[in-house]
Amino acid sequence: MIAEFGLAALWLAAALAALQLLSGCLSLTEKGQNLALLVRPAAVIQAVLCAAAFGSLLLLFARTDLSVLLVAMNSHSAKPMIFKVAATWGNHEGSMLLWVTVMALAGGLIALIEKRLPERTMLATLGAQAFVGLGFYAFLLFSSNPFERLSPPAEQGMGLNPLLQDIGLAFHPPTLYLGYVGLSVAFSFAVGALLTRNVTPEFARVMRPWILGAWIFLTLGITAGSYWAYYELGWGGWWFWDPVENASLMPWLAATALLHSASVLASRDALRTWTIMLGVIAFSMSMMGTFLVRSGILTSVHAFAVDPERGSFILALLVLNIGAALVLFALRANTISEGQQFRAVSREGALVINNVALSAILGIVLLGTLYPLLTEAFGIRVSVGPPYFNPVSAIFAVPMLIVLAVGPMLRWRRDSLGRIEKPIIAVILAGLVGIIVAFSLGGIELLPFIGIVLSLMVAVGSVLPLKGRSLRRLPLAVWGMVIAHLGIAVALFGMSADSAFTQQTLVAASPGDVAKVGPWTITLESVDPVAGPNWTALEGRMAASYRDEPAQRIAPQSRTFWAPPQQTSESALLTRWNGQLYAVIGNEAEDGRWQLRLWWKPFVTFIWYGGIMIALGGLLALMGRVSVDLRRRHAQRRIEQRHEGYVQ
Amino acid sequence: MKRLSIFVIVLATLGYGQVALAQDSLPPAPYAYRQLDDPQQEHEAEELMESLRCLTCQSQSIADSDAPMAGDMRHQVRTRIAAGESPEHIRQWLMERYGDYISYTPRMSNDTWPLFAVPVLLFLGAGLIVWRRIGRRSGKDSQ
């Protein structure tokens, strides 16, 4: 019953999306104005129905209802509850249902609360949101039905990929999806504004919280995903420039650019077309990411060609949505004026450089991700990896980071570098200190070297805007900017330090043997079998001491899951303020010794601290913006009330 | 969702499949999980291994994979480095054997030139946009 209820709710939600699209479009015409009344309620009811469908699927997974194909394929009755629930979105159909649910909820929310824009723009926006949503409903209902029954029911489920049975990963996809889909709202606003030729600072203010919210989730999702890859894959790498990772990085890059250009539009009424363009691109990148991950094209272009139904469907949606938006943009862009003018040396000028550099990096990541897929389709296989992405994106990242160090101190519209001479000198001094320190340590390669120097410059530059201002009266949004920029410096430092200073030791050891890695001395004490709810493992018990400090115990495991059968390495980490010890136990060699992999990774944790700071900065900015908006609304209402009283 | 199928074997051709299967049955090569004694040589080997693709994994270098084939290739790289071969020479050798696909560092060729041309175009384009948005206007303003 639950499965049928869920499917019915999904069909109804799709029908309401169609209603929302039709009434939204028609209400923009002369004759159809009455239909405007339908648009907002349709969006809200659609959200409720879609949430009900997703709730049904959650319930089916929680109960491990094996008469449902999707549950039988992806779950197992012996799994811990948390992973039963997480299995709901740990598969294709479930994750697409999560996608439309988030999208429907976002649409319902703007329909409920957003009253600041002209009503025509709102109707066009909700229509656009329904247009995108409808495509995904069709995808679910026609080619990825999550509620399909299995008859007769399976006796036992197939289980969830053990790599995914991890608490960090349970929440990674929903976080990313909130980000991906949050950008759909920015997209719909951009389309709505284009359709009604209404690109104003107010429009940017309305759009900004959505961009910020999506961006926070994307930042958290990428940070968490990178940390998960780091500790779960067992080789100490934290970013592989893997297409799946790039799929989450590309929307982030676009959203970061969009965030900054929307700020310019909101504060200065400049960069109008840029902002619209980036709004379209940001969500296009989200859909591109979904296509890459969901179509199966990454496993192999050939796998995609063999079973092209789903992939083609998403590709068609991608082309339809992006194509339509770009055509609309091309038709309308020249009717939107550029907005206010500004000089080269100004806050806007710095933000233009930020936008252009981020867009260029986005272009490179897109090229490096898609090019191998493209050539593979023609039978030529090339690999594009870190040796390409790192230096090529650095070409644009370096100037961007230099501008980031001084840009926030510039004034809007016009300024001179002479006015901020002292801060510039401070930033340059920080860079010099970085150069001297990095040189004295010696043996650092070019990119990590530049990274360390730039991280110091950005760190100093990012806190300088606080100088001479009352910290208690500083707006939250400014705090947000400072903390996010500082987070960039912290993460960059972590990345550079990890690649410059990491030390690795691979040894074969018997119990009692001692191994050294960097400042650590590690003794393998014993190797013992242990068992978990759905796995057994061999656990290497070790004592690790940092220089002369007392030893701490760590116990990496080599786990064997039985449903589905698979082996994973559970690394053990010891975190200090200045880095992490990373220990993995591998297989037993013929001579009875165990393979140990040990790394000392100085300051590697800064990568994720930085990521969290960036997200926190976004959160503060969001809180600041929303509270200012609420206060403004409140004040306006009081003025209106007073005015009414006066008239009476 | 990430790396959903890291251990899904991506066998592009039957040829690779046979290589991988043949090597599975052998005991692990000694230098798959052992470092070279000379730190300079080990550093060179690690750098090379990080830029070589593990052919049986999804998007992992041979430096960070548990796959048997990656282990064998690490052994190859380390023994060849220890024998005094240059890393680029080893890369060449592997590319001749397995195709360009094995190297994460794309070479400029008839198949890959867009990877190098597009960043140059992006750079010029970015410069042009910045100049048009900022440079010209400030020139006009200063008159």
Cβ distance A299 to B118 less than 8 Å, yes or no, reads no
The answer to whether residues A135 and A317 touch, using CB atoms and an 8 Å cutoff, is yes
Other Cβ atoms less than 10 A from the Cβ of B37: the count is 8
Alpha-helical segments (H) within A144-296: 167-170, 172-195, 201-232, 243-268, 272-294
- Say if residue A622's pLDDT is above 90: yes
Tokens 């990178």 belong to which residue?
A226
What confidence tens digit (pLDDT) does each residue in A75-110 have? Answer: 888 788 888 888 888 888 898 899 999 999 999 999
> Is the Cβ of A508 closer than 8 Å to some Cβ of chain B?
yes
pLDDT of residue A235: 84
**Cα gap A87→A75, rounded to integer Å:** 6
pLDDT of residue A28: 84
pLDDT of residue A172: 82
Q: Which of A217, A105, A192 is closest to A611 using CA atoms?
A: A217
**Per the omega criterion (within 30 degrees of 0), is the bond before A152 cis?**
yes
Cβ distance A506 to B33 less than 8 Å, yes or no, reads yes
A507 interaction partners in chain B (CB closer than 8 Å): 34
Q: Please provide the DSSP assignment of A546-585 as one string.
A: ETTSPPEEE--EEEEEETTEEEEEE-EEEEETTEEEEEEE
Confidence band, pLDDT 50/70/90 cuts, at residue A154:
confident
Rounded to whole angstroms, what are the CA distances from A140 to A143, A184, A464? 6, 18, 50
For residues A518, A521, A526, A532, the Cα torsion angle rounded to the nearest 10 degrees is: -50
Q: Please provide the DSSP assignment of A51-101 as one string.
A: HHHHHHHHHHHHTT-TTBHHHHHH--TTS-HHHHHHTTTSSHHHHHHHHHH
Burial degree of A61 (CB within 10 A; 0-12, 13-18, 19+): buried
Cβ distance A236 to B50 less than 8 Å, yes or no, reads no
pLDDT of residue B24: 46
**Cα gap A263→A407, rounded to integer Å:** 14
**Cα gap A329→A323, rounded to integer Å:** 10
Cβ distance A388 to B115 less than 8 Å, yes or no, reads yes
Nearest CA of chain A to the CA of B76: how many Å? 16
From A38-52, A68-82, A317-331, B75-89, the region with the lowest mean pLDDT? A68-82
Cβ distance A395 to B7 less than 8 Å, yes or no, reads no
pLDDT of residue A282: 94
- Among chain A residues, the shortest Cα distance to B138 is held by A343
A567 interaction partners in chain B (CB closer than 8 Å): 66
**Cα gap A13→A102, rounded to integer Å:** 13
**Cα gap A492→A510, rounded to integer Å:** 38
Give the A window 282-341 contacts with B, CB below 8 Å.
293, 298-300, 302, 341
Nearest CA of chain A to the CA of B104: how many Å? 5
> Is the Cβ of B130 closer than 8 Å to some Cβ of chain A?
yes
Cβ distance A353 to B130 less than 8 Å, yes or no, reads yes
Here the tokens at position A293 are 């991950």
**Cα gap B41→B75, rounded to integer Å:** 13
Q: What secondary structure letter does DSSP report for A511?
A: T
* A76: alpha, beta or left? (left if phi > 0; alpha if psi -120 to 50): beta
pLDDT of residue A299: 67
- Say if residue A366's pLDDT is above 60: yes
Rounded to whole angstroms, what are the CA distances from A624 to A478, A479, A628, B82? 9, 9, 6, 59
- Which of A161, A366, A382 best probes binding to B when mutated, by most B CB atoms within 10 angstroms? A382
pLDDT in tens, chain B (143 residues): 334 333 333 333 333 333 444 444 455 677 888 888 888 899 899 989 989 998 887 778 888 888 888 888 999 999 999 999 999 999 999 999 988 888 998 888 888 899 999 999 999 998 888 887 766 554 444 33
Q: Which of A577, A583, A582 is closest to A603 using CA atoms?
A: A577
**Per the omega criterion (within 30 degrees of 0), is the bond before A564 cis?**
yes
- Among chain A residues, the shortest Cα distance to B56 is held by A299
Other Cβ atoms less than 10 A from the Cβ of A1: the count is 6
**Cα gap A442→A448, rounded to integer Å:** 12
Cβ distance A352 to B133 less than 8 Å, yes or no, reads yes
Question: What is the C-alpha R_g of chain A?
Answer: 27
**Per the omega criterion (within 30 degrees of 0), is the bond before A391 cis?**
no
Cβ distance B112 to A95 less than 8 Å, yes or no, reads no
**Longest CA pairwise span in chain A (Å):** 96
**Cα gap A647→A627, rounded to integer Å:** 30
| Helix (H) or strand (E) run with residue A505 in it | strand A503-509
> Is the Cβ of B14 closer than 8 Å to some Cβ of chain A?
no
pLDDT of residue B52: 92
Cβ distance B3 to A387 less than 8 Å, yes or no, reads no
pLDDT of residue A550: 92
> Is the Cβ of A586 closer than 8 Å to some Cβ of chain B?
yes
> Is the Cβ of B120 closer than 8 Å to some Cβ of chain A?
no
> Is the Cβ of A364 closer than 8 Å to some Cβ of chain B?
yes
Annotated domain spans of chain A: 1-165, 205-303+333-415, 416-502+605-648, 504-602
| Residues across chain A | 648
Nearest CA of chain A to the CA of B82: how many Å? 17
Q: Which of B115, B58, B112, B107 is closest to A389 using CA atoms?
A: B115
Among residues of chain A, what percentage have pLDDT more than 70? Answer: 97
**Cα gap A139→A313, rounded to integer Å:** 7
Mean pLDDT, chain A, whole residue set: 89
**Cα gap B97→B103, rounded to integer Å:** 11
Of B1, B28, B34, the CB nearest to A293: B1
Nearest CA of chain B to the CA of A224: how many Å? 11
Of B1, B34, B125, the CB nearest to A508: B34
Confidence band, pLDDT 50/70/90 cuts, at residue A485:
very high
- Say if residue A303's pLDDT is above 70: no
For residues A298, A304, A305, A309, the Cα torsion angle rounded to the nearest 10 degrees is: -150
The answer to whether residues A357 and A397 touch, using CB atoms and an 8 Å cutoff, is yes
B12 interaction partners in chain A (CB closer than 8 Å): 300, 302, 381
| Helix (H) or strand (E) run with residue B81 in it | helix B68-82
A385 interaction partners in chain B (CB closer than 8 Å): 51, 53, 61, 104-105
Cβ distance A341 to B137 less than 8 Å, yes or no, reads yes
> Is the Cβ of B66 closer than 8 Å to some Cβ of chain A?
yes
**Cα gap A243→A291, rounded to integer Å:** 11
SS3 content of chain A, % helix, strand, coil (to 5): 65, 10, 20
- Say if residue A302's pLDDT is above 60: no
Other Cβ atoms less than 10 A from the Cβ of B79: the count is 16
A449 three-state secondary structure:
helix
> Is the Cβ of B6 closer than 8 Å to some Cβ of chain A?
yes
Cβ distance B138 to A341 less than 8 Å, yes or no, reads no
pLDDT of residue B141: 44
B66 three-state secondary structure:
coil
- Say if residue A423's pLDDT is above 60: yes
**Cα gap A383→A377, rounded to integer Å:** 14
pLDDT of residue B123: 92
Give the A window 225-244 contacts with B, CB below 8 Å.
225, 228-229, 233-237, 240-244
Comparing A485 with A535, which gets the higher pLDDT?
A: A485
Q: Please provide the DSSP assignment of A5-19 as one string.
A: HHHHHHHHHHHHHHH
> Is the Cβ of A368 closer than 8 Å to some Cβ of chain B?
yes
Q: Which of A392, A410, A352, A390 is closest to A492 using CA atoms?
A: A390
Among residues of chain A, what percentage have pLDDT more than 90? Answer: 51
Nearest CA of chain A to the CA of B13: how many Å? 10
Instruction: Report the DSSP beta bridge partners of residue A570.
Output: A557
Give the B window 22-51 contacts with A, CB below 8 Å.
27-28, 33-35, 46, 50-51
- Say if residue A426's pLDDT is above 60: yes
Q: Which of A411, A409, A448 is closest to A426 using CA atoms?
A: A409
Of A164, A382, A504, the CB nearest to B111: A382
Nearest CA of chain B to the CA of A493: how many Å? 21
The answer to whether residues B54 and B65 touch, using CB atoms and an 8 Å cutoff, is yes
**Cα gap A236→A583, rounded to integer Å:** 9
Nearest CA of chain A to the CA of B137: how many Å? 7
Here the tokens at position A524 are 């393998």
Tokens 């994720």 belong to which residue?
A608
Cβ distance B129 to A234 less than 8 Å, yes or no, reads no
Comparing B72 with A32, which gets the higher pLDDT?
A: B72
pLDDT of residue B7: 35
Could you tell me the end-to-end alpha-carbon distance of chain A, in angstroms, rounded to an integer?
Answer: 58
Nearest CA of chain B to the CA of A173: how many Å? 6
- Among chain A residues, the shortest Cα distance to B106 is held by A384
> Is the Cβ of B63 closer than 8 Å to some Cβ of chain A?
yes
Q: What secondary structure letter does DSSP report for A149?
A: B
**Cα gap B10→A596, rounded to integer Å:** 27
From A290-304, A317-331, A384-398, B96-110, the region with the lowest mean pLDDT? A290-304
> Is the Cβ of B55 closer than 8 Å to some Cβ of chain A?
no
Residues 6+ apart with CB under 8 A from A540: A524, A526, A527, A555, A556, A557, A558, A583, A585, A594, A596
**Cα gap B28→A12, rounded to integer Å:** 57
pLDDT of residue B17: 37
Residue type, B5: S
Mean pLDDT value across residues A54-80:
88
